[in-house]
Chain A
């Protein structure tokens, strides 16, 4: 059972370009969370999605950032017109559906996508 897969692992962009980060959740998981980790800081929640729905985007910057989790394919975090302050590690996590026995409460994390903006 493959874990949470994120790609690319490393991404370099120049200011003003677009960055797209992809996340495939663990098999059987239908909830996806995106977090951002700035250098030497903790993880900040950005957005929580289920298939075709954004459930909570309270941590997303109001401009330039968007996320989706389509019916087919991975979840995508998109950052338009990147700036140097967007340089960070972006982590995706997944959890199974519902609050029943399969959901032990933990989130399963990918290895992250490290964005560098020049």
Chain B
């Protein structure tokens, strides 16, 4: 079946540090891959996505590249800010309108 594994948190970084959150997946077929972000007390917001191998999704300084050979979609940001403190979820979705499958989430805390 389909599954997503992401690094466990919490991750604590100082402002302007480099961020990597690892995500690997298992899927049948060729899924689309997503990163969602959840700020405290809120719902999930799409951060970025990639729909095919070698695609790079990017938004708000975050990037992730769809690596089919390593079945990975690691999230990176060159310089984090306090406002990036949130829980980040990696997810995949196969074709059609099948449900999103989420990883367990990684809590990021950025301190000034």
Hey, which bits of chain A sit against chain B, CB under 8 A? 4, 31, 33, 35, 41-45, 48, 55-56, 59, 91, 93, 95, 98-99, 103-112
Task: Write out the residue numbers on chain B whose beta carbons fall within 8 Å of the beta carbon of A95.
Answer: 97
Task: Write out the residue numbers on chain B whose beta carbons fall within 8 Å of the beta carbon of A111.
Answer: 42-43
Interface CB pairs A-B, < 8 A, 15: A41-B105, A42-B89, A42-B102, A42-B104, A43-B44, A45-B100, A91-B43, A93-B44, A93-B100, A98-B97, A99-B97, A103-B97, A106-B34, A110-B43, A112-B42
Q: Give the CA-CA distance A111 to B40 in the complex, in Å.
A: 11
B97 to A43, Cβ gap below 8 A? no
Task: Write out the residue numbers on chain B whose beta carbons fall within 8 Å of the beta carbon of A93.
Answer: 44, 100
Query: Nearest-CB distance from A95 to chain B (Å)?
Result: 6
B51 at the interface (CB under 8 A from A): yes
Interface residues of B in 15-46 (CB under 8 A from A): 32, 34, 36, 42-46
> Given contacts A43-B44, A109-B44, are A56 and B105 in contact (CB under 8 A)?
no
Q: Give the CA-CA distance A33 to B51 in the complex, in Å.
A: 20
